[in-house]
């Protein structure tokens, strides 16, 4: 998923609601797809699906996913699929 900056205030509102309802739970999860769907239902966001035949999904949900994602991104950079560096240096 990719978001424009304007979405983050709306996500923060939903996250605060989530914390108020579930904050004491050690196992509750705030799912971005569920939050985005709620924003779409209330007509405060819209979703555009971008299709590609050349890309593959690489996701990270848990800390244990990090090494796999890092290695996959390194391989995609090495293959020239993604640019190096992936992000410009912070100033």
Is 69 in the same domain as 37? no
Q: Is the pTM for the entire model greater than 0.85? A: no
Task: Output DSSP code: residue 80.
Answer: T
Q: How far apart are CA 76 and CA 1, in angstroms?
A: 18
48 within some domain? no
pLDDT of residue 45: 93
Is 60 in the same domain as 85? yes
Count of domains in the chain?
2
pLDDT of residue 11: 95
Percent of the chain at pLDDT exceeding 70 = 100
Residue 91 pLDDT exceeds 80: no
Which domain range does residue 33 map to? 7-41
Which tens digits make up the pLDDT trace of 37-68? 999 999 999 999 888 777 777 888 889 999 99
Is 36 in the same domain as 65? no
* Among the listed residues 32, 51, 45, 59, the one whose alpha carbon sits nearest the alpha carbon of residue 4: 45
19 within some domain? yes
Q: Of residues 41 and 86, which shows the higher confidence score? A: 41
78 within some domain? yes
pLDDT of residue 38: 96
Q: Find the Cα–Cα–Cα–Cα dihedral 42, 12, 32, 72, rounded to 10°.
A: 140
- The 3-class secondary structure across 32-67, one letter per residue, is HHHHHHHHHHCCCCCCCCCCCCCCCCCCCCCHHHHH
73 within some domain? yes
- Token pair for residue 5? 């900056």
């Amino acid at each position: 998923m990719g978001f424009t900056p304007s979405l983050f205030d709306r996500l923060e509102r939903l996250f605060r609601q989530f914390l108020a309802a579930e904050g004491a739970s050690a196992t509750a999860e705030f799912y971005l797809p569920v939050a985005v769907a709620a924003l779409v239902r209330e007509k405060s966001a819209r979703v555009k699906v971008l299709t590609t035949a050349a890309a593959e999904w690489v996701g990270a949900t848990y800390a244990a996913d990090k090494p796999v994602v890092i290695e996959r991104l390194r391989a995609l950079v090495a293959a020239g699929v993604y640019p190096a560096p992936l992000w410009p240096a912070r100033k």
